[in-house]
Amino acid sequence: MQFYTQSHRFYCGVDLHTRKMYLCILNSEGENVFHRNLKASPKAFLKAVSPFREDLVVCCECMHCWYWLADLCYEEGIPFVLGHAFYMKAIYGAKSKNDRLDSERIARLLRGGVIPMSYVYPHEMRATRDLLRRRSHFVRKRTELFAHLQGLSSQNNLPEFAGRITSASNREEFLERFEVCPSLDRSAQADQGLIEHYNRMIPDLERFIEKEIKEDAVAGYYLLRSIPGIGRILAMTILYEIHRIDRFQTCRKFASYARLVRCQHSSNGKISGHGKRKMGSMHLKWAFSEASAYFLRGNTRGQELLAQLEKKHGKGAALSILAHKLGRTVYYMLQRNQPFNARLFYRDSA
């Protein structure tokens, strides 16, 4: 975890919400020179900080509506720090908590050099990254619809269906079984209508995103495609979640951010458990988990590697180790600008 340690004349802590924001500005001596609840708008913010613009730094917690404040500070040349929500325990651990107190605590953490920093993703690529995440959301919703159709069949003890209902031709035959009851048929047809809509929309999104990838000239797209099992979507997801590989100082930090390692808690030489498994990018975690599964398809050497890992660690842990290994491979490939080298990959596993 990195902390913001630069010194400034004024420190601004913002407790930001959708419609309101509480601003607290401290000077270098720690004196409170401005503390007020304002409308969350660029005009109100710039008017409030105008007397303190000389050597001012602004910080807010990483939450759903920080984009506009970060972009505004960038345009105005004001240093901006994004606080890591999970690490800012000084706010959540306090006895009393409200917007006024939170804004002052953010400012004091910033002044003290102990504000944990989160990455400020650049404006020009942020919308495409969010669109990729939205596409993943739609895919999960479509999967839920398939599961609901299977659940309807099981609830009503209908005959087992041998084919895969993800295929459109099989699904038409599958839906005929619900015609015995008008309500069941209507429920199944509603699911079918949404599935057809998702089937049209998701490929359109993928084509649009791939076009954006080429326009952004994201480095490493074709490097990642050289890894067995990583296709268009996984390559785009990994690249847009990483943005720049040099923002991770070591491979260990990258693996931790991608949730590919377990966080161990220990005291006095004794392990007390593991925690903070949800800290990091869940999208990278998903991408590498999917990549490890696709990596094994038709890959004899990969399957042999997995069998070796299973003998030593068990099946579940073996897949996690393989995902971790793919994560390390991606880190060094992007760092060295080199394509996938199967000889090195399997040699390190020997």
- Residue 172 pLDDT > 90, yes or no? no
What angle, rounded to 10 degrees, do the helices at 282-295 and 123-155 form?
60
Contact present, 223 and 333 (Cβ < 8 Å): yes
Site of tokens 């972009």: 71
pTM recorded for the entire structure: 0.85
Mean pLDDT of all residues in 56-70: 93
Alpha-carbon distance of 33 to 81, in angstroms, equals: 20
Mean pLDDT score, 37-59: 94
Residue 348 has pLDDT above 60, yes or no: yes
C-alpha dist (Å) from residue 350 to 38, 170, 195, 345: 61, 44, 45, 9
Tokens 């495609």 -> residue: 225
Which strand (E) or helix (H) includes residue 312?
helix 300-313
Residue 206: what residue type? Answer: E
One-letter amino acid identity for 170? N
Closest listed residue to residue 74, CA positions, set 29, 23, 36, 126: 126
Average pLDDT over residues 324-345: 92
Q: What pLDDT score does 142 carry? A: 95
End-to-end Cα distance, the chain: 33
Q: How far apart are CA 111 and CA 28, in angstroms?
A: 7
pLDDT at 350 over 60: no
Conformational region of residue 59, where left means phi above 0, alpha means psi within -120 to 50, and beta covers everything else: beta
pLDDT in tens, 227-283: 999 999 999 999 999 988 999 999 999 999 999 987 666 666 666 655 556 678 899
- What mean pLDDT do residues 1-22 have? 92
pLDDT of residue 217: 62
Condensed to tens digits (0 to 9), the pLDDT of residues 114-133 reads: 899 999 999 988 999 999 99
Residue 275 has φ and ψ, to the nearest 5°, of -160, 180
Residue recorded with tokens 């099946």: 315
Average pLDDT over residues 334-348: 88
Q: Which residue has the tokens 């970060």?
A: 70
Task: Please list, in sequence order, all residues whose beta carbon lies within 8 angstroms of the beta carbon of residue 241, skipping any fewer than 6 positions away.
Answer: 129, 281, 283, 284, 287
pLDDT of residue 250: 92
